[in-house]
Structure 1
């Protein structure tokens, strides 16, 4: 018999906001978790650094830390604590394995993010081994994702947005709006379901993985669809990272134009930095500014998408009601977006630069691990047949078409704004 909490049953979105701010407060005032070492180049590094006694202690303390917050979350939402206690160590172990693989310097050089290995490992285990139903029921992918998104807000600093410069912000706005609407239009033309269309449009136009995750959270999207979108983002980022600098060099594009093109077209931040570095210092600087300018639109986009989705759901559920009331919008609005925006405001205006810099690395590490835990869970609960079925061809065509439009329109805007 599973142990279920009867006293509490708080909405999951409010729970993640509470836990997100609790993590931030503890990091600032009480305990700052150490960042484990995952970087290694050879077997010697692996043995002496990653598997050293000191690092294993850090990993164990980190496990207790995440387990504690996980139990608290399960308790607040009224789910089975017993099942979570039995299942989480396995999920955490697989996630650490993914982080170690991603920590290899060769892998880092290819800018393959830890979440892709979390997803692959989860898919492999979930499809080649029969997992008990209680274990699948204990998986908390959406819960992990939302906590990561609240913590992501701590890295969106308004003073940095201003430093990005007017040209970077102008390009970001034009690219995001034009590419998002084009991608959504293509998806509708190809009869891709609206839920998947929203994820694809955000992933292509804003900032890849983070945008897809935020959109899925805003509309309470299907985790299988999310894993498919993430797979497309990560797979296409690699050839774009390699070939776009080559194309720019062949045609003799100016470095500033190339940087703006790379930053606006490539979906993952790591790939943007890598491709910009291949071109030159100016290209690296401009590409980073443009990509960051797009990233800061994430919270606004999540808010707008959640309002739109609430309206669309209300309309489909009740054809008599032409508009949803404010009460309905608030009821269906994803409250974790409030946590994301609140964290951004606090770290922008209420926290000193010294304190912010002191906790930045640790919070980024925690955010990354929450995301990695989420994708391990998504992989474990996803079937290969669902992920690569024939029905997935149309979303793939829509994604590739939108990505091609993104590359072309971003290059035109980059020439208009950054060429001398």
Structure 2
């Protein structure tokens, strides 16, 4: 029992060390190359993805994350022997998911690599009986949190200043109103707090990234996280396709339409695709608004971490004895500090020229760690655990909150951008 508690207390610090080490290595000139996974037909697949130069980049990236994974297992006292077998298998499956997601047709439907990696893992775990040592070597939490710290390098506060005051005002108004409404709705429907926090963040801030960040901050159930992400990705597709036509039917200007799309569609890829259907000005405004919401992710993760840590501490203590600052600090997810540090570092310390050099590699690694995590989630999960929801209330709450999001964002966009 003591060892598991020690693991829980030290894991976040290990993640901070590994995440920041990756960042500082990149800034010093040591970073993983960015492979190409984009293709549209079989001949392009062979000539581009399986080209020797591209395969070499994939191999270098594998060595980079493999060494990081081994170091993480060593620092956490986990078996490195099993990881030597398990990690390469997870990586190969993840690369397969990235190739599927790189197809031009798949990209049009905004189906991200995480959903393919999850499905691949689920199929394998449900068709074959994986040994216990294999599942024990999976480090889902480690992969997610390293990815989150790297995500901090993309949350640049300077982007808000470039975006302008209207984009920031809308982002703040939408995030605060939609988050509070979604959380209030979940409470009324008696949905547990874990699911409520993940769902509220996903629908109000920036979809998949917000759900993952919130889950990491509260040490959330990976099955609940997968369920919320599935809802985000599934609802983004019809919104991406139909909202531009609804805007045209209502006679909205490109500015209002862009603000509406950027504030209500949960994934950045879907926002860009939808804005492109309307026009250049709509694309510009929608990207600005979504950028502003994405920047708020760091502040939201920090606030949620403090709320969750305090709430859990209150639940564990007697009503007469309030939790001390020491207890709150012990239970506070330290990786959030790494996330915020990375964001502040890239916002105010690192030069734009240096950021341009390393941002591609770090963003690519961030996506790779998330995809590795969802391959791992699939490999340790049964279909019935992920998709069979006896309680349909989270689905209803998400759909109602998303509808509220669409209406409120439209009203705010009309006021600010008309």
- Same structural fold, with TM-score higher than 0.5 when normalized by the shorter chain: yes
Task: Provide the residue aligned with 1:256 in structure 2.
Answer: 255
1:324 to partner: Cα distance: 2.3
Task: Provide the residue aligned with 2:51 in structure 1.
Answer: 52
Contact kept, 8 Å, 2:317 with 2:323, in 1: the verdict is no
Q: Is 1:39 matched with 2:71? A: no
Distance 1:9 1:217 in 2: 13
Map Cα deviations across residues 140-184 of structure 1 (whole Å, 9 max, x no partner): 111101101101111112221211111111111111111111111
Distance 1:66 1:244 in 2: 39
Structure 2 residues not aligned, in runs of 5+: none
Distance 1:126 1:321 in 2: 47
Map Cα deviations across residues 319-360 of structure 1 (whole Å, 9 max, x no partner): 325632211111111111111111111112221111110111
1:290 to partner: Cα distance: 0.6
Q: Is 1:383 matched with 2:344? A: no
Distance 1:400 1:381 in 2: 28
Task: Provide the residue aligned with 1:121 in structure 2.
Answer: 120
* Paired residues for 1:6-21 under 5 Å: 11-21=10-20
* Paired residues for 1:258-273 under 5 Å: 258-273=257-272
Distance 1:30 1:281 in 2: 36
Q: Is 1:80 matched with 2:79? A: yes
* Paired residues for 1:86-165 under 5 Å: 86-165=85-164
DSSP 3-state at the match of 2:30: coil
1:9 to partner: Cα distance: 9.5
Distance 1:360 1:390 in 2: 39
* Length, aligned pairs only: 414
Task: Provide the residue aligned with 1:347 in structure 2.
Answer: 346
Distance 1:68 1:247 in 2: 50
DSSP 3-state at the match of 1:11: helix
1:244 to partner: Cα distance: 0.5
TM-score, length-scaled by structure 2: 0.96
Distance 1:191 1:367 in 2: 34
1:391 to partner: Cα distance: 2.3
Distance 1:292 1:382 in 2: 34
Structure 1 residues not aligned, in runs of 5+: none
Distance 1:148 1:246 in 2: 36
* Paired residues for 1:286-365 under 5 Å: 286-321=285-320, 323-365=322-364
Task: Provide the residue aligned with 1:244 in structure 2.
Answer: 243
Change (3 A) 1:49 1:310: same
TM-score, length-scaled by structure 1: 0.96
Contact kept, 8 Å, 2:183 with 2:197, in 1: the verdict is yes
